[in-house]
Chain A
């Protein structure tokens, strides 16, 4: 069978001592840098890219992939420990992960993330190896109308992210969408809402907004009542998940992996939607949805598996077509070109060792990640014992450097201050930041695809309903909306929240 021969070639490539060593170094460096607050995978890879340039192409790419997984896991660690997502997908992990940490269950949350990621990574690696070409074909069926429908579905799921008022969640999504539109309009080149600053021409920086509305707002909230406050419980209960925890996380991990593997293939936004959508599904089908937002382990397991599965399958469009599906993949493509490999449909036939070596190294990288991180959990959790008044200046310093390193744009730092203030005010009004971030990421894409669909269909709005994929996605979106707004469901929601208040 071809697959076995190919995987054999992959293992032969990935398992040379040199490649294992660099895979390990990449995973380690990625974790260590990615765990610094405010520094997510994109910033980490951009910073570490030059280090890989002196290596051979296969080794360099294996190391880069290692940095990617490491940074992604490191980013989730920070999201759980200090409520600071380094990228959009870990914004979801922060919701329940941080609550778990506040309850002294940081170790469990981190272990859940590691185990979920490893399982998802293993399955997704197989998906990449077996289904890369057919999945690519499906992804190509997605035109602007389908993307628009998918984004709408994603936005509607955002309502479930909030554990408070639906109205506020909707308002936060809308505000996020609007903030996402700041910058140059790609259709006409007209600057929008830039207040005349050329620094805003490319829009607000995601990390700056995330650090502001999540990080700064959280620091301020902790400063409110320093004497009695529990930043994070000092007493840390068991590091590893209990049998009960394991039982709870199995199904969410399976569903998250499936969803992430599928959505990750879609170029542009797929991996972002994966973690949000998997969280929504878990909350919807849970018998105890009121636990979500208050430290539900399912709320960590599902998005982390979805996120990691999507991270893996997002390699598919890059490997089969040479198309970057997210900024990290764009960096990987840049690295390949510098190494003398032009990514494209030819890579699999011209460089089979490289192609299959990378795929197998994904799995090796995930394995190393678990081996590396399970022992490190004890260390990370101990960080929480650092007094908060020492921790937050460090968070600010790392975030400042991380944000500045992305584009050397000082404007992004002023944005941190502005969004810190806005985030804090909204927090005071009990508006949650996660839906805002989802809107912020999806805003420009939603508009882009809507307008593009209308241009290509020559103004025929029925295109959203006549194309089968688009129609199906919109039908699901409407269904979700009905379920959310249905009177008896809403009444049940209210009861749930009253119980909580009592």
Chain B
């Protein structure tokens, strides 16, 4: 269903996100118009988002279904994994291994990548990043983190 009628799906997505924000805003004080609380403005905006989502949904109902969409699932997983792994390792392992991991993981997202090329790219880009950021700019991030020094 998703992807066949884009407005319909977009409408549903906006309604869901709007509802989540309504839920969050209701947990906050609403305040008075003079001194609005933290929940006042978000609640109004979330309401507008739900309204717009509903309009999109209605518009989508009248659309013919579109062709199915292509999703690069393997690439999707790897591309989203790369920054996550960097975040998880940069403080523990240090900048050098974290950069290498980002490049290595994301390189395999492309079906055109071969193992050798990935390795070459990892080494090349890691060296380049270290030279630019650590040596050239003196970025205060440890190259090798505490997990590696025993």
Give A contacts to B, CB under 8 Å. 33, 36, 47-48, 50, 165, 167-168, 170-171, 174-175, 177-178, 181, 185, 187-188, 190, 192-193, 216, 219-220, 223-226, 387-390, 392-394, 396-401, 403-405, 408, 410-414, 416-417, 420-421, 424-426, 428-431, 443, 446-447, 450-451, 454-455, 458-459, 461
Contact = CB atoms under 8 A, between A and B. Distances in A.
B102 A178 contact: no
User: Which secondary structure characterizes the binding site on chain A?
Assistant: helix
Contacts of B125: 393-394, 397
B56 A220 contact: no
Contacts of A414: 83-84, 87
Contact of A429 (B9, B48, B138): B9
B55 to A, nearest CB: 6
Interface of B: 3, 6-7, 9-10, 13-14, 17-18, 21, 24-25, 28-29, 32-39, 41-42, 45-46, 48-49, 52-53, 55-56, 59, 69-72, 75-76, 79-84, 86-88, 90-91, 95, 98-99, 102-103, 106-107, 109-113, 117, 121, 125-126, 129, 132-133, 137-139, 141
User: Which secondary structure characterizes the binding site on chain B?
Assistant: helix
A428 B53 CA distance: 16
Contact of A223 (B17, B83, B87, B110): B110
Contact of B110 (A171, A216, A392): A392
Given A168-B7, A224-B70, 17 more contacts: A47-B133, A167-B59, A168-B10, A174-B45, A192-B39, A223-B72, A392-B79, A397-B102, A398-B129, A399-B83, A400-B83, A404-B86, A421-B76, A425-B13, A428-B69, A447-B41, A454-B36
A401 B75 contact: no
A417 B36 contact: no
Contact of A168 (B34, B56, B83, B88): B56
5 contacts: A223-B75, A224-B72, A396-B106, A408-B141, A420-B79
B69 A454 contact: no
A48 B137 contact: yes
A48 B139 CA distance: 9
Q: Which of B71, B107, B133 has the most CB of A within 10 A?
A: B133
B21 A193 contact: yes
Contact of B52 (A170, A220, A451): A170
Q: Which of B41, B48, B75, B121 has the most CB of A within 10 A?
A: B41
A223 B80 contact: no
A390 B33 contact: no
A417 B88 CA distance: 12
Contacts of B17: 175, 178
Given A167-B52, A171-B53, A455-B34, A411 B87 contact: yes
A125 to B, nearest CB: 29
List 3 tightest A-B contacts by C-beta distance, closest first: A413-B87, A459-B34, A389-B110
B109 A223 contact: yes
B121 A390 contact: yes
Nearest to B139: A405
Given A226-B110, A451-B41, A220 B72 contact: yes
A426 B2 CA distance: 12
B80 A400 contact: no
B112 A226 contact: yes
Nearest to B70: A224
Contacts of A424: 76
Contact of B99 (A47, A397, A425): A397
A416 B83 contact: yes
A459 B33 contact: yes
Contacts of B42: 178, 181, 192-193
